[in-house]
Amino acid sequence: MSLAAIETVEQAGGLQVLLSGDWTLATMPEPLSSLEARLREIGAGAKAWDLRSISRLDSAGAIVVWRAWGRCWPAALAVSTEHRSLLERVVAIRVERKEAGSRAARPGLVFLGEQALAALDHFAGLLGLLGQGVLDLAYLARQPAQIPWREFSANVYKAGALALPVTALIGFLIGIVLSYLSALQLKTFGADVFIVNLLGISIVRELGPVLVAVLVAGRSGSAMTAQIGVMRVTEEIDALATMGVSRSQRLVLPKVLALAVTMPLLVVWCSAAGLVGGMVSAKLQMGLSYAFFIDTLSRVVPVANVWIGVGKGVAFGFLIALIACHFGLRVRPNTESLSSRTTTSVVTSITVVILVDAVFAILTRNVGIPF
């Protein structure tokens, strides 16, 4: 172990600074601020830097050198590949902290522009993930033995079977609340029987798919983002790449397909529970018999509404899983990034679900609505 040393050499092109020894926290002279000031003073008129004689360099030494350079790369630099890589990592960390610290002081227009560019970047990332999924499906169609059935079934069980109790409970309670509040208004106009129309259309067509989407985004979507994010933090994804295992085939595709399959089933399940809750409430509030409710429901709610709800379930499940995987893959190797990306994933998924539901409402406004 040798101490950090600084030498200067006069050359034809100008002054050259030579660094040698071990530039680590244990070997650099204290205080580091004095070493940094000395290095900055010596290198003020230097035309070139030579770091090839440095035997050991850690992050503390790299930070001292980078600060002495005035946070700018010198015009001429001779350094080993390993040490250059460490310096580049330090540069990247410093830039991120500088941007985070000055964000509050940026002008509003600049902030909006950066947010728009970030949104475009996420959109491009989602498109890239979608395109990779299509390529993976084409590959698996030619190589059916490579289909990750175990990962697919595990995600179906976690996102589907384990979500049955909570979706049934939420659907049942929403049906009761909606029926109870509607009964108070319909009784005023003597239109008690129209509660079947109201509950059938609202639950099957709108509330069922949206409620399930919100629950799945908060439950399964966040779990998917956290799972992939933890794998990023622990470098398991890098290990998969080292072993030649495709992360998209083993991590992304099974989750997307599993949620696209389970969501429509959960929508039907939740809608059925909501109708049962509304039927029970209508019986208690208005005295409508169960037989009348079921018979009227099949006549006033066209089957097209069921297919619209199922179609929404497929679209919502596909988008939630895609967004969850996208943000999971963008987690940086630290816990703060993991928590923020998981939160962003859930908020983005719910926002996209509401936007897509509005698009569905516009496109299907004349379908399944009796006149």
Q: 312-355: per-residue pLDDT in tens?
A: 999 999 999 999 999 998 888 777 888 889 999 999 999 999 99
What is residue 1's predicted lDDT score, i.e. its pLDDT?
63
User: Higher model confidence: residue 259 or residue 371?
Assistant: 259
Cα 10 off chain centre by: 54
Q: Is the dihedral of CA 56, 99, 229, 139 positive or negative?
A: negative
Task: Dig out the tokens for 107 from the structure.
Answer: 């002008």
Task: Dig out the tokens for 174 from the structure.
Answer: 């929403």
At residue 47's C-alpha, the angle toward residues 45 and 53, to 5°, is: 110
Which strand ranges, in their side-by-side order, compose the sheet holding 5-11? 5-11, 14-23, 46-57, 77-78
- For the segment 265-289, the average pLDDT, to the nearest whole number, is 91
Which residues, 6 or more positions from 336, have their beta carbon under 8 angstroms from its beta carbon?
none
Q: Does domain 5-103 have CATH number 3.50.50.60?
A: no
* Predicted TM-score (pTM) above 0.75: no
- For the segment 190-215, the average pLDDT, to the nearest whole number, is 88
- For the segment 101-126, the average pLDDT, to the nearest whole number, is 77
Average pLDDT, the chain: 85
